[in-house]
């Protein structure tokens, strides 16, 4: 008689890496409202939380990282009752007459953007580069600054990991191979599957040419020497296990920004608002509450 008591239980087959179609919105990211605004002839997607605060004096404009959309900030929903969170998505295509950074600066500041005269500004990775440039160019409009995984100078960015992030644009069969690697670089081990899928799905909306143009913005960045010009309250949040922008880069940025507050989430990687939303939201809420005006 066959003894089945000690027979090993076969492991269930591992599902393939999640690489969704661009139409597929993941659980937890589908509840946002989306408005499309035409600004300077280009389309900007603006996500908001249903039932969220609409007080313009408490507006926080959130700028996503390379290849991401404003939808990536969905885990910040608990802050939406106290703050008017506008989750901004840069145009999918920018004209050849400008660099993507130059074009996005002009779009953010254009009357058609419909942004209030003054607002808090939060940027993640590439969005932090845009946030820094905007705050330097239009200091009168920014009343507080939150920089997540800050990019101020490519000298402090690990180029190999940065180049690896472009693999989310690989053809679909290859994307199944590369998606876990990209997710490990971008989000770390604590990034949920839905967050990983959100990164890959949104990046697949952008053309390889546009993604490379934004990458060149990062490779050409050198704002470190100008950070002392910033005169707004600044919070810097960095993941202790960020494989793309090392913790030393965040310390360097904080050392150059007068009065900057630096917070580390030790087990987080490059996307702490997606992988560690409770700790991230707690720090952002405390900071914004201290600097409402």
Question: Do 150 and 238 contact (CB within 8 A), yes or no?
Answer: yes
**What topology is assigned to 33-290 in CATH?**
Rossmann fold (3.40.50)
Tell me the β-bridge partners of 290: none
Could you tell me the CA-to-CA distances from 63 to 40, 179, 258 in Å, in that order?
18, 23, 22
Supply 288's token pair. 């914004």
Q: What is the reported pTM?
A: 0.89
Residue 279 has pLDDT above 50, yes or no: yes
What number is the average pLDDT over the span 282-288? Answer: 98
Question: Do 238 and 156 contact (CB within 8 A), yes or no?
Answer: no
Strands 261-265 and 59-63: unpaired
Spatial separation of the C-alpha atoms in residues 20 and 207, rounded to whole Å: 17
What are the pLDDT digits (tens) for 79-105? 999 999 999 999 999 999 999 999 999
């Amino acid at each position: 008689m066959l003894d089945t008591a000690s027979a090993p239980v076969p492991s269930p087959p591992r599902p393939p890496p999640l690489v969704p179609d661009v139409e597929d919105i993941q659980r937890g990211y589908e509840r946002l409202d989306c408005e499309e605004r035409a600004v300077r002839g280009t389309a900007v997607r603006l996500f908001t939380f249903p039932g969220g605060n609409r007080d313009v004096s408490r507006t926080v404009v959130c700028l996503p990282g390379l290849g991401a959309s404003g939808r990536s900030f969905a885990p910040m929903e608990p802050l939406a009752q106290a703050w008017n969170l506008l989750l901004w998505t840069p145009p999918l295509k920018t004209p050849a007459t400008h660099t993507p950074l130059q074009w996005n600066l002009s779009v953010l500041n254009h009357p058609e953007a419909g942004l209030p005269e003054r607002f808090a500004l939060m940027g993640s990775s590439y969005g932090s580069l845009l946030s820094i440039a905007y705050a330097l160019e239009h200091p009168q409009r920014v009343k507080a600054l939150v920089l997540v995984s800050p990019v101020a100078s490519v000298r402090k960015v690990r180029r190999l990991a940065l180049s690896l992030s472009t693999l989310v644009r690989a053809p679909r069969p290859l994307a199944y191979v590369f998606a876990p690697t990209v997710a490990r670089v971008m989000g770390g081990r604590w990034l949920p599957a839905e967050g990983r899928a959100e990164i890959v799905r949104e990046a697949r909306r952008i053309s390889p040419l546009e993604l490379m143009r934004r990458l060149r913005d990062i490779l050409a960045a050198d704002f470190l020497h100008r950070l002392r010009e910033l005169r707004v309250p600044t919070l810097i949040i960095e993941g202790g296990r960020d494989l793309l922008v090392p913790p030393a880069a965040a310390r360097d940025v904080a050392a150059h920004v007068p009065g900057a507050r630096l917070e580390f989430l030790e087990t987080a990687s490059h996307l702490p608002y997606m992988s560690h939303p409770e700790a991230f939201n707690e720090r952002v809420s405390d900071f914004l509450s201290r600097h409402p005006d």
